[in-house]
Amino acid sequence: MIKNETATTMSESHSSLSISNDKKPTMEEIDALPKHPLFPFRQPVALNATNYSTIIEHPMDISTLHSKLLHGEYENPLQFCDDAWLMFDNAWRYNSKSMKIYKMCQRLAKLFVESINPVLQSLGYCCADQYVYFPKVFVCCGIRQCCEIRCGANYYYYKNPEPSRLNLSNDQYRFCFVCFNSIQSESIFVGDDPTQTLVEIPKNLFLSAINDVLEPEIMVDCIVCKRRWHQVCALHCDQIWPDGFICNTCVREYNLPRKENCHKAENLPATDLSSQLESRVNKFLLDKNCHEGRVTIRVLHSGDKMCHVNPKSKRYFSNQVANDGFPYRAKTIFAFQEIDGVEVAFFGMHVQEYDEHCPAPNTRHVYHEILIGYLDYVKQRGYMYAHMWACPTMENFDYIFYRHPPEQRLPKLKRLQNWCKKMLDRAMEEHVAIDYKGDFWSTTIEATIKELDQQDEDSDHPIESEVSNKRKCANAEEKNNLKRMKTQEELAKSQMPPCTDLKSKIFSTMEKTKEAFFVICLHNPIATSPPAVNDTDVPIECDLMDTRDAFLSFSCDRNLEFSSLRRAKFSTMAFLSEIHASKTENPTYNCNNCRQQCGVHYHCTRCEDFDLCEKCFNIEPKHEHKMECSVPCIVDVNQDDKCNSLNSI
């Protein structure tokens, strides 16, 4: 029954592409249009462009589009749109951005989308836009830390012909131009886990490339009428609706039930912190007469970690730092707002909480970006201080959300500092904070120590050189005075505390940059008995939100951009679905060798997150560490049918 109705729908939907003879536009009518500068695309490119055929493989122009349309060569509207975009892409590829024809093509493409989109939407499609993703930021496999291969950069890559090899399971291994050329040997050792045996790859097997590939958005087909939509426009996630995508036209015409999406932020467990922040924000919106789009706030991750002291700082402050480091609780807090019936993540922050169990001097400190509601919460829980860094992000740098809108303006340092000061002044008015002042980061302390050590090493050589030159003097009294001065300097240096020069240098640097760093006092430090820290929220484990790098890597791998509202809607839905899936009773595992999902799997007892399916586990040579077999428990999937499927027929 559905197949017959589907055929009818397709015939009716595409009937507008078959134009009757009395309505067919002629080329004379097209030529009679105003001689607009956008009309160089009416006819094929002139034959005198000798190199055009070598650059452009499939030419296209308006007259060819017109002819194919009149002869009914297009089976659906999207094929017509594909030819139109082929014409635009050819013009952009053949001409440089500075040429007039390139700019004409941009105007024509914009006019085409504005004109054809209403027609396509009336036929049950999403749009005629040709959406592409910008090139991804690749991680360099070189020895330099935090080395990346950004958009437009040159790099070298090795295409792995055997992804099933031990410790070499990725399809490609990439090195930036600098790291690749810094390796003097004829081979490079690569591998997934640097602690395991690396694989030697000759450098001549690496190919050069430029990170400039534009990846088109994924398209999904309606399982009923076969209409094709952008996955982002359809807001379809296979993990939420495994039965497939059904377009709005089929849902409406066939009265198909459309079940609710249960993978929402509001369905995640709430904590005392999230409830307090959510109540505060929504009360503020109501006071401003904003009754639409309630804000949902959730703590997506909360876990105990250890902050280890850098070796140089430990050497200078041996009596003031803990040997094992400073324990703290890391939390990831996200805020969501419903826009057009879809949740959108619009704010996120990572915080670190040091309670009274942490050794001095980090007791009761909170780091990173902090809002008044969070300050009020931690104050009620007994924390004494909060530290905040007011430094704007760099251009083309993603801190939490992957890909910001290109038109988004970055705040200047002074403006961001003034915004933070106004926020802290308001916190003082509400008696949340008592006072705030400047502070500095431990990374600068480490850099200052390194600089002082280098100065000490360099100072030894000039003194020796000076002494050797002075020894050539005939005056014995001058030589004795020089030795006496050197002895006095060494004695004074030995009696000086080791961190005196360091402190003076740090304080000097803090004076210059203290406007960007704030220490917020939440309680009176003179109080003899500060309140005990009482965090009633239980830890929440979520590997995806454990660190900002984990979330950024996940978003980059799956093209979950926040560069526009439409993409922010889909990206929010996708990562919320991933969080919900990680909290189910039956987690899924992927084999680290073959990358296939496996039920029965073998987990390494020593490596972090290393699993093998039964087939790869039996391949020789076997993994070097002990592996334990794990069989997933059987869960009744019918007990919550509401969340298992959105579309049913």
Q: Is the pLDDT of residue 470 over 80?
A: no
Name which of 269, 278, 290, 268 is nearest 374 in CA terms. Answer: 278
Could you tell me where the beta strands, DSSP code E, fall in 283-364? 295-307, 326-339, 342-353
* Domains annotated on the chain, with CATH: 27-122 (1.20.920.10), 138-211 (2.10.110.40), 265-440+517-544 (no CATH), 589-630 (3.30.60.90)
Specify burial of residue 364 (Cβ count, 10 A radius: 0-12, 13-18, 19+). buried
**Strand (E) or helix (H) holding 369:** none
Name which of 547, 313, 348 is nearest 448 in CA terms. Answer: 313
- b/e per residue 333-344 (b: at least 16 CB within 10 A): bbbbbbeeebbb
Q: Is the pLDDT of residue 486 over 50?
A: no
Judge whether 339 and 565 are in contact, CB under 8 Å: yes
- What are the phi and psi torsion angles at 348 (to 5°)? -150, 150
Structure tokens at 348: 């996120």
Q: Is the pLDDT of residue 35 over 50?
A: no
Of 24-38, 107-121, 415-429, 448-462, which one has max mean pLDDT? 107-121
> Which amino acid, residue 207?
L
pLDDT (tens digit, 9 = 90+) per residue, 122-168? Answer: 999 999 999 999 888 888 888 776 788 888 899 999 998 887 777 78
Q: Is 517 helix (H, G, I), strand (E, B) or coil?
A: strand
Judge whether 150 and 211 are in contact, CB under 8 Å: yes
Mean pLDDT value of segment 468-472: 42
Q: What angle do CA 560, 561, 565 make, to 5 degrees?
A: 120
Name which of 63, 33, 46 is nearest 101 in CA terms. Answer: 46
CA–CA separation, 421 and 432 (whole Å): 14
Q: Is the pLDDT of residue 360 over 60?
A: no
pLDDT value, residue 343: 94
Judge whether 312 and 321 are in contact, CB under 8 Å: no
Specify burial of residue 215 (Cβ count, 10 A radius: 0-12, 13-18, 19+). exposed
In the structure, what pLDDT confidence band is assigned to residue 633 with cuts at 50, 70 and 90?
A: very low
Q: What angle do CA 429, 431, 437 make, to 5 degrees?
A: 80
Name which of 516, 367, 533, 524 is nearest 435 in CA terms. Answer: 524
CA–CA separation, 599 and 635 (whole Å): 13
DSSP state of 267: G
Contacts of 517 (CB under 8 A, 6+ apart): 387, 388, 389, 390, 438, 439, 440, 441, 510
Reported residue count of the chain is 649
Specify burial of residue 63 (Cβ count, 10 A radius: 0-12, 13-18, 19+). middle
Judge whether 152 and 212 are in contact, CB under 8 Å: yes
pLDDT value, residue 364: 37
pLDDT value, residue 37: 47
Mean pLDDT value of segment 344-366: 67
pLDDT value, residue 409: 80
Q: How many CA within 13 A on the CB side of residue 143?
A: 6
- b/e per residue 121-141 (b: at least 16 CB within 10 A): eebbbbbbbbbebbbbbbebb
Higher-pLDDT residue of 193 and 431 is: 431
Name which of 342, 513, 480 is nearest 414 in CA terms. Answer: 513
Percentage of residues in the chain having pLDDT higher than 70: 70
In the structure, what pLDDT confidence band is assigned to residue 645 with cuts at 50, 70 and 90?
A: very low
Of 19-33, 104-118, 505-519, which one has max mean pLDDT? 104-118
> What does R_g of the chain's alpha carbons equal in angstroms?
32
pLDDT (tens digit, 9 = 90+) per residue, 229-250? Answer: 999 999 999 889 988 999 999 9
